């Protein structure tokens, strides 16, 4: 079989079609890479060497619903969102409010906390990932796990 040199010119046009959906990457790895700062109790923090907090437990529940394991990566605010944008992390669960500026840069899950409206940002253009993440979040809401987490970590609210 002979390869036509003209086909080589078409290869760059096919690259968007070859772009894998984020959900495929997550399932292939078997893990959800979750970025957080781990310094803002009760949302996420370290208790000794152990990560804990509302958002850590939320991330564990979301990964479980998606049938993958959570992989928490602690970082700082200078790397958190840029890391999601470049694909270094799949999501950031770090009490991030959906602002107009961030909506231009990221897609978001459904809110997990209403006041302020907190949601989980991820790379734009991943509708199957959004669907899977929102479905997992909906299950956690529907069966009372999100309410139990909220009561556990925010008793005074």
Residue 53: DSSP 8-state: S
Q: What was the pLDDT predicted at 115?
A: 74
Q: What was the pLDDT predicted at 137?
A: 97
Q: Residue 104: is its pLDDT beyond 60?
A: yes
- Residue 114 or 134, more confident: 134
* Average pLDDT score, the chain: 89
Q: Residue 32: is its pLDDT beyond 80?
A: yes
Q: Residue 157: is its pLDDT beyond 80?
A: no
Please check whether residue 132 lies inside any domain of the structure: yes
Please check whether residue 138 lies inside any domain of the structure: yes
Q: 9-20 pLDDT, tens per residue? A: 444 444 344 447
Work out how many domains the chain is built from and give that number: 1
Report d(CA 99, CA 106) in Å as an integer.
10
Torsion of CA 138, 141, 143, 148, to 10 degrees: 150
Q: 105-121 pLDDT, tens per residue? A: 999 999 999 878 899 99
Question: Which residue range is the domain that position 43 belongs to?
Answer: 21-149
Q: What was the pLDDT predicted at 155?
A: 80
List Cβ neighbours of 108 (8 Å cut-off, separation of 6 or more). 98, 102, 119, 120, 121, 122
In this structure, are residues 105 and 85 in contact, taking their beta carbons and an 8 Å threshold? yes
Q: 61-72 pLDDT, tens per residue? A: 999 999 999 999
Please check whether residue 154 lies inside any domain of the structure: no
Please check whether residue 79 lies inside any domain of the structure: yes
Torsion of CA 149, 121, 64, 72, to 10 degrees: -90
The CATH number assigned to the domain holding 126 equals 3.40.190.10
CA pseudo-torsion sign 54, 149, 105, 11: positive
Stretch 72-89: mean pLDDT: 96
Question: pLDDT-based confidence at 156, cuts 50/70/90?
Answer: low
Please check whether residue 53 lies inside any domain of the structure: yes
Q: How far apart are the first and last CA of the chain?
A: 69
Please check whether residue 14 lies inside any domain of the structure: no
């Amino acid at each position: 079989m002979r390869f036509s040199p003209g086909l080589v010119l078409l290869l760059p046009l096919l690259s968007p079609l070859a772009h894998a959906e984020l959900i495929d990457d997550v399932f292939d790895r078997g893990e959800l890479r979750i970025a957080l700062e781990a310094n803002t109790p009760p949302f996420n923090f370290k208790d000794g060497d152990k990560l804990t907090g509302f958002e850590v437990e939320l991330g564990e529940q979301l990964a479980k619903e998606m049938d993958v394991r959570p992989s928490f990566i602690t970082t700082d605010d200078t790397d958190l969102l840029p890391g999601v944008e470049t694909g270094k992390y799949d999501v950031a669960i770090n009490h991030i409010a959906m602002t107009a500026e961030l909506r231009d840069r990221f897609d978001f899950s459904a809110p997990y906390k209403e006041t302020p409206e907190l949601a989980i940002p991820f790379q734009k253009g991943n509708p199957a990932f959004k669907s899977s993440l929102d479905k997992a979040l909906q299950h956690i809401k529907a069966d009372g796990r999100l309410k139990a987490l909220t009561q556990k970590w925010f008793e005074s609210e």
